Structure 1
Amino acid sequence: MKILLIGEFSRLHNSLKEGLSQLGHDVTLIGSGDLFKKYPVDINIAPVFFRKKAPVFFRKLIHKITGFDIADVETYLKVKSILTDLQDYDVVQLINEDAFTMHPKMQISILKRIINQNKKLYLLCCGDDYITINHYLKEELKYSILTPYLKNRTLKKQFSYSLKYTTKSYKKLHEFIKKHSQGTIATDIDYHLPMLNHKQYLGLIPNPINTNKLSYAPLSIDGKIIIFHGINNMNYIKKGNAFFEEALNIIQKKYTNSVEIITTRSLPYSEYIKTYNKAHIILDQVYSYDQGYNALEAMSQGKVVFTGAEKEWLDYYHLKEDSVAINALPDATAIAKKLEWLILNPEKILEISKNARAFIEKEHDYITIAKKYLETWDTTTN
């Protein structure tokens, strides 16, 4: 099968490509690398000219005056120039509704051509999109990535990326993709819940993790317990990092001689992975029900991860609380108590570490997940 994967924001499509390739399929990945994260892609469509020092000034000025990102034009022209190469694919899959990261009108123009010259189009629900963001705004879940904004509307600017999906132009893009795609696949519980009862929802397929690329070595605790907190400045509020920082202050004061705390900010993916290698505990995110990609990769390496591990996730995978990952609540005191529990009971760290790796191998193996995608693609028709 010939497969085109469009967009990469987490390494999801890279791992899926690796699984599909192992199964003998021809896969091409096109994307921008996602800014500082620099994820590998086969065809890079990231703007280059408008990231240089002088053009960046004009880019910011034009955006401030008009609200339009002139770099979108560069991306659009890049994609348009290679459209003749993006044809005769059996399956085309978008990482999300903003897969090309440019103005909706431009994306619709590009997608029309891609749809006409290929067979099937699918959409992933694994981040912000029209359905998910509108669902979160209804506040039917006890919390979501929009919770800080819903509690404090003055944060609107910081949530502009998420809220853009509620605008008319992004609604139009959503409707266009909905009309021309075979359906939508969710990748975890945070996106599964908003998608329930939507006609074109094809179900949840867990994130693929290539455990061959993420070596596992059983943890050992010979000295201090090492806690790693990797901050992405762009998502600082959405990930609930303030709760982690407050909790770490509590732990640092109380257990100075027992813990080592490592904090980093906006590292490229390759450096991020290397930096947390020696850690026992990883602080990932707060406002989630399930694990994102960084958390899953850390769990694959046997780290004890503070992340989304809500009851809905526990029920879905038939797990017990605190057995595979630690549910990070938007409560610094609660997080500190869980950290203290692990510090005082280091055998639990070793136990959860083993369980985490076993869980990834069972539920997120990239070959098994690739087969689930193939089955879904094969059983849906126009």
Structure 2
Amino acid sequence: MKILLIGEYSRLHNSLKEGLKALGHQVTIAGFGDDFKNYPVDIRFKNPYSKGIPLFIKKVIYKLTGTDLSSVSIEKQFHKHKSKLVNFDIVQLINENPFSTLPKTEARLLEHLFRHNKKVYLLSCGADYVSVNFAFDKKFRYSIYTPYENNKVSKSEYWNILKWKTEPFKLLHLYVFNNVDGIISSDLDYHLPLLGYNKYLGLIPNPININKITLEPVSPTDKLVIFHGINDRNYYKKGNDIFDAALEIIKSIHGDKVEVIEARSLPYEEYIESYNTAHILLDQVYAYDQGYNALEAMAKGKVVFTGAEQEWLNHYNLEEDTVAINALPDAEKIAEKLEWLILHPEKIAEISKNARAFIEKEHHYILIAKKYIDTWSVTDKYF
């Protein structure tokens, strides 16, 4: 099949592409490369107004005229590439707003994709209308809404989430839902909100190319090495402030037994190599399931503090603290889990082995690609 993947978050579509190509399909990725992470794409879009003086000018122009320079630029780029975005058997959108333009502009771009390709699917793997409203209605015990509710972030800093509470983005959501052939989620944080929607096709776990990620054997050392990777733009959204507080507790009790490595806003190729020497990786707090950074670290055999809630344990039939450590939004509880590992270092090797085995079983990129092919091929029976 000829397949077009629109957008990229944390290498999801690149790994899926690799799995699909291994199965003999022709795959193209169009998108931005996920900001500073700079993932490979075949058709690259750029936002020249994302930072610095151009961003300031964009804000002034928008305030004075209502014209969004980013949307104007991206639409021009789209028209330049539009002849390359047609006649695909399958198109998959990474989000309801994959081009990151204003809703009216986004609808025009998506209309071209709906009209000129056979089937279009939506992937729910980042903030969107359904998941954001589910969180804001407090149907999760904690969620991406929690830092905002606790006044840790401003409205402007949280706009990429809060925009889904506005009428224009609600209308964009309805337009997308009405026109796609089906909706797929990448993990439980998006699966749970979508239950009951008639076009929802189910959860397909994130694909991980284990051939590109080497298991790093756990080496005994005098100190336990803890890696804390931070994306400055998402510091509170990911709960990095809570991890920092937990690390301060651990340093005060077991400072002679730990080494902390901190990395900030690194490009992907640098980031994934930066924690090779670590035993433990601190990923994120406000999640029920693992995102891409956590999964790739687990593939390397790291003990990852991330979303590993009871719903996730039930879904995969796992026991607590055997594959990943659930990072609750509580610094003291995280510190307790870190101390448990410090006092029981034999658990590090055990969890490391289990983590890699879990990725090979549940997230193998070729097995996941087959699940996508099977899901895309059966929708005619449902709709």
TM-score of the superposed pair, with normalisation by structure 2? 0.96
- For 1:377, the equivalent position in structure 2 comes to 376
**Deviation readout 1:181-212 (Å, 9 max, x if unpaired):** 11110110111110011111100000000000
SS of the residue corresponding to residue 255 of structure 2 reads coil
- For 2:199, the equivalent position in structure 1 comes to 200
Counterpart check, 1:61 vs 2:83: no
> How many residues were matched structurally?
381
**Deviation readout 1:306-364 (Å, 9 max, x if unpaired):** 00000000000000000000000000000001000001111101100000000000000
Instruction: Give the alignment of 1:141-156 within 5 angstroms.
Output: 141-152=140-151, 155-156=154-155
**Deviation readout 1:221-253 (Å, 9 max, x if unpaired):** 222111000111111111111110001011112
1:268 is displaced (CA, Å) by: 1.2
Counterpart check, 1:274 vs 2:273: yes
* Alpha carbons of structure 1 residues 353 and 102: separation in structure 2 relative to 1, 3 Å: same
Gaps of 5+ in 1: none
1:62 is displaced (CA, Å) by: 2.3
The question of whether the paired residues in 1 share the 8 Å contact of 2:184 and 2:202 is answered with yes
* Alpha carbons of structure 1 residues 154 and 317: separation in structure 2 relative to 1, 3 Å: closer
How far apart in 1 are the matches of 2:52 and 2:191? Answer: 41
How far apart in 2 are the matches of 1:179 and 1:39? Answer: 30
The question of whether the paired residues in 1 share the 8 Å contact of 2:227 and 2:280 is answered with yes
- For 1:297, the equivalent position in structure 2 comes to 296
Q: Which moved more, 1:146-155 or 1:293-302?
A: 146-155
* Alpha carbons of structure 1 residues 323 and 65: separation in structure 2 relative to 1, 3 Å: farther
How far apart in 2 are the matches of 1:176 and 1:83? Answer: 20
- For 2:366, the equivalent position in structure 1 comes to 367
* Alpha carbons of structure 1 residues 68 and 110: separation in structure 2 relative to 1, 3 Å: same
Instruction: Give the alignment of 1:212-361 within 5 angstroms.
Output: 212-361=211-360
The question of whether the paired residues in 1 share the 8 Å contact of 2:228 and 2:261 is answered with yes
- For 2:167, the equivalent position in structure 1 comes to 168
* Alpha carbons of structure 1 residues 240 and 51: separation in structure 2 relative to 1, 3 Å: closer
Gaps of 5+ in 2: none
How far apart in 1 are the matches of 2:323 and 2:67? Answer: 44
* Alpha carbons of structure 1 residues 213 and 195: separation in structure 2 relative to 1, 3 Å: same
1:296 is displaced (CA, Å) by: 0.3
1:147 is displaced (CA, Å) by: 1.1
Counterpart check, 1:35 vs 2:35: yes
1:153 is displaced (CA, Å) by: 8.7
1:176 is displaced (CA, Å) by: 1.0
How far apart in 2 are the matches of 1:201 and 1:93? Answer: 14
- For 1:93, the equivalent position in structure 2 comes to 92
* Regions of 4+ moved over 6 Å: none
1:155 is displaced (CA, Å) by: 3.4
1:68 is displaced (CA, Å) by: 5.1
SS of the residue corresponding to residue 47 of structure 1 reads coil
How far apart in 2 are the matches of 1:338 and 1:43? Answer: 44
User: What letter corresponds to residue 11 of structure 2 in structure 1?
Assistant: R
How far apart in 2 are the matches of 1:112 and 1:45? Answer: 18
SS of the residue corresponding to residue 157 of structure 1 reads coil
1:161 is displaced (CA, Å) by: 1.1
The question of whether the paired residues in 1 share the 8 Å contact of 2:147 and 2:153 is answered with no
How far apart in 1 are the matches of 2:12 and 2:335? Answer: 31
CA RMSD of aligned residues (A): 1.5
- For 1:4, the equivalent position in structure 2 comes to 4
User: What letter corresponds to residue 29 of structure 1 in structure 2?
Assistant: I
SS of the residue corresponding to residue 184 of structure 1 reads strand
- For 1:129, the equivalent position in structure 2 comes to 128
How far apart in 2 are the matches of 1:350 and 1:285? Answer: 22
SS of the residue corresponding to residue 256 of structure 2 reads coil
